Structure 1
Amino acid sequence: MDKALDFEEFASSRARRLFQVAYLMCGDWHQAQDLVQTTLAKMYSAWGRLRRGRDEPGLDAYARKVLLRTYLSQQRLRRSSELVTDELPESPAVHGTGSELRLTLVAALAQLPPRNRAVVVLRYLEDHSTEAVAELLGISTSAVKSLNTRSLAKLRAILGNDRELFLCG
């Protein structure tokens, strides 16, 4: 099969899911699009080598790893220009519709540091095991557990009583 056609098929079938993960990690539509484009561009440049050495699940895992590393790299660059405050922004009011609940959750996720956000998204959206997240992030499983625990505690604090709506709704 032609390299370009093979890659095009892979990219078109995975782009939506990659975008969902990217959006939950960064909380910005345009940045998520850029992350997916960068991920796919990096994969295309090495597609021949990648295709020979991996099956479909292996290619999916590689795509997630590239996406994650690109996101974390961009966050390290942005960190130097961020303004640090001692107050958290107010969380948006939740009125109960599905889209409002999702927006509230995305806003809460955006308040987590990038690595913590990545752990939560990979564990709960992508449903990866602690070991798989540790491998993707290049850290120990105990570090993933610790990040996960701290992240969930912070999300509980941010969401307050609204978190019950996510469990019931």
Structure 2
Amino acid sequence: MVDAEREFVEYVSARLRSLHRTAFLMCGDAHLADDVVQQTITALYVNWRRVSRADNVDAYVHRMLVHKLVDEKRLSWAKVRLLGSMPEPERSPVTPHDEVAERDSLVAALAHLPRGQRTVLVLRFLCDLSLADTAAAMGCSEGNVKSQTARALAAVRQVLDVTEMSGRGPR
């Protein structure tokens, strides 16, 4: 049992920042991302023996993360705001990519996307998952991932007004 716990601690320690970044980019809320990552890690600990035997542990954990985020969004209390007024959105939450100047505009563009499109972009391009792994993590077909990706990229281009991304801009 000691070896299994050590393996779990090593796995989580190596991937904690990446999991938090992924969760934040999927939901756009640093506090919710913390909660979802904590729930994922807890579920991972409980099921570590089974998960550690999976062919692709990272893909399995990403799927767990997506499911925990969906579960969190389904809870009715997640929609309740107990404030007199809405606070100003966080301008620069702590992420591993603070040095990227375009981060804020990218995060804002992702926030405009529906959850499925945002999730597919985060998993495909920021987590560098394959088409098959993304489909498995999201519990959908590869064709769905392709169409969601195309729609999401078009929406991001429109929000960012970036023509270079589509190949139509100056070279």
Partner SS state of residue 161, structure 2: helix
Query: Compared with structure 1, are the counterparts of its residues 49 and 130 closer, same or farther at alpha carbon in structure 2 (3 Å cutoff)?
Result: closer
| Equivalent residue for 1:63, pick from 37, 61, 64 | 61
Structure 2 distance, partners of 1:69, 1:143, is 17
Letter in 2 for 1:101: E
Residues 72 and 114, structure 1, Cα contact 8 Å, conserved in 2? no
In structure 1, what residue type is equivalent to 2:110? L
Paired positions, count: 150
SS of equivalent to 1:112: coil
For the structure 1 residues 80 and 5, does the alpha-carbon distance in structure 2 shift closer, same or farther, using more than 3 Å as the test? closer
Hey, what does 1:33 align to over in structure 2?
A: 34
Taking a change above 3 Å as real, the CA distance of residues 104 and 164 of structure 1, as seen in their structure-2 partners, is farther
Give RMSD over aligned pairs.
2.9
TM-score of the two chains, using structure 1 as the length reference: 0.76
1:42 equivalenced with 2:40 (yes/no): no
Q: Percent identity?
A: 39
Give the equivalent residue in structure 1 for 2:112: 111
Aligned to 2:156, the other structure's residue is in SS state helix
Q: Distance in 2 between matches of 1:60 and 1:118?
A: 16
C-alpha offsets along residues 56-75 of structure 1, whole Å, 9 cap, x if unaligned?
Answer: xx222211110011112223
Q: Structure 1's 119 and 11: CA in aligned 2 closer, same or farther, altered over 3 A?
A: same
1:145 aligns with 2:146: yes
Deviations, residues 93-133 of structure 1 (Å, cap 9, x unaligned): xxxx9554101110110111111100011111112222221
Task: Name the CA shift for 1:28/1:142 in 2 (closer, same or farther; >3 Å).
Answer: same
On the 8 A contact 1:7/1:44 being kept in 2, the answer is yes
**Which amino acid in the other structure matches residue 33 of structure 2?**
A
2:23 maps to which residue?
22
Give the counterpart letter for 1:73 in structure 2.
D
Counterparts of 1:62 and 1:146, CA distance in 2: 23
Q: Which runs of 5+ in 1 are unaligned?
A: 83-91
- 2:40 and 2:63 map into 1 onto residues whose CA distance is 9
The amino acid of 1:20's aligned partner reads: R
Normalising by structure 2, report the TM-score: 0.75
Q: What whole-Å deviation, never above 9, does each CA across 1:34-84 have from its counterpart, x for those lacking one?
A: 111111000101112333x236xx2222111100111122234469949xx
Q: Distance in 1 between matches of 2:58 and 2:14?
A: 10
Tell me how far apart the structure 2 counterparts of residues 46 and 37 of structure 1 sit (CA, whole Å). 14
Cα distance in 2 for residues equivalent to 1:112 and 1:79: 22
